[in-house]
Structure 1
């Protein structure tokens, strides 16, 4: 169910068509289709358990797909390894700020360059430190000594340093202070303005809609609506999805 038509920018970057994902015999994603265009900020909205993170993990090759087609810039990546998917320009920042606690902030960032052609490229550090001055101040500090918010910022920096064409953010707000969440989403918006596409899963609807160019609504493993933030907000579908009963 689409709630309107809009001319979306640039060419299609990520195209997910009729995606099905199952855990054992239980199918949890049922024919989901959505797109991210170049330089676009796209948000997947829906309640907990709607299958949003599962969709992201399937795109990134972290879990197998039962059926469906995933293409990146026209190239099929549905059967590719996670490493090859990263090399195609897709980087996912996993939920729960997963960093290497025993390594320094700078070494964590350098690890983010290894999956791409820029292996260990220290010249990319300056850009990350300009985006996140708080990391520059702690570059020699062990990651395990950072606060939860700082670890999430480090995880995002680790994703950005590889210069992906598409950065996938899975629930970056989890357990963090509002000021940290705003900081991460503001940087994501700036990256989008610079040409990087963003695909975000987020429970904080108002914050997500404030940054989005386009949104998809999910329920029980299906895409049940799509539109611009203004279309989403002016319809009753968003409330129905979060209160239940959207069809």
Structure 2
């Protein structure tokens, strides 16, 4: 992608603040994601990245600020309604239903998207992730950690999101599995899906992303195209704590 962002934002986040009790962890973050764009948020653990994602997805309330998607204000919307609008978040930590089969886990991903039990979408997921097709009748509890994360991503994709949010997909996984997930995300992005990624593996994230936000203690310290982020020293200061 050339160094020019598409014109109209798909997702608009403006001055969002998030607090747990009296402790504010997101201090007025603003950011955009556009259709067909792969955006990454980088920052040290505890910087507020996941809290911002949860606010976008309706999993935690915003103290102040607005989130708009395709021009619609999502303030106060339930997570289910946000999924129906086209935003699906794959949570950190291989969140799958261990007592269900791989295929039943995938079918659960169709429910909130108003396509209950739509088996027609399974073929596309199995095409993207053949390892899931091979294990479709296995219990999710029998999958490896990497396979469970792939299943979680497949569960998100089967709902046909316009914006797929990935929160730390690399957590505890082999580099090969991480590359597999990010390669698929890049392919989907080229087909028009927007991707918003939070990731600690900086080089892998920058290899796939178009645009990046550096988050430091609940605020955006910088934003730029990824090649510009690589060239500056702010990335080292924000992410690695350099000087």
TM over 0.5: yes
CA contact (8 A) 2:163 2:196 kept: yes
How far residue 97 of structure 1 moved from its aligned partner, in angstroms, is: 0.7
User: Conserved in 2, the CA contact under 8 Å of 1:10 and 1:38?
Assistant: no
Aligned partner (choices 179, 183, 193) of residue 182 of structure 1: 179
Q: Which runs of 5+ in 2 are unaligned?
A: none
- Asked if the contact 2:212–2:224 (Cα under 8 Å) also holds between the matched residues in 1, the reply is yes
**Residue 71 of structure 2 aligns with which residue?**
74
2:130 corresponds to 1:136: no
Q: Report the counterpart of residue 113 of structure 1 in structure 2.
A: 110
Return the offset for 1:119: 1.5
8 Å CA contact 1:29, 1:222 repeated in 2? yes
Secondary structure of residue in 1 paired with 2:110: coil
Partner of 1:215: 212
Q: Write the deviation string for residues 119-169 of structure 1: whole angstroms up to 9, x where unpaired.
A: 211000000000000000000000000000000000000000000000000
Please tell me whether residue 232 in structure 1 is matched to residue 229 in structure 2.
Answer: yes
Root-mean-square deviation (CA, aligned residues, Å) is 1.2
**Counterpart among 101, 106, 112 of residue 104 in structure 1:** 101
- Tell me, yes or no, if structure 1 residue 146 matches structure 2 residue 143: yes
Aligned pair partner of 1:21 in 14, 18, 22: 18
Tell me the equivalent position of 2:155.
Answer: 158
Residue 245 of structure 1 and its aligned partner are, at CA, apart by: 7.2
Structure 1 unaligned regions, length at least 5: 1-5
Cα distance in 2, alignment partners of residues 58 and 134 from structure 1: 32
- In structure 2, C-alpha distance between the alignment counterparts of 1:99 and 1:217, rounded to whole Å: 29
TM-score relative to the length of structure 2: 0.97
**Given the alignment, which residue of 189, 201, 205 partners 1:204?**
201
Residue 3 of structure 1 aligns with which residue? none
For residues 89-133 of structure 1, give each alpha carbon's deviation from its aligned partner in whole angstroms, at most 9, with x where no partner exists.
000000001000000000000000000122211000000000000
The 2-side partners of 1:193 and 1:186 are apart by 11
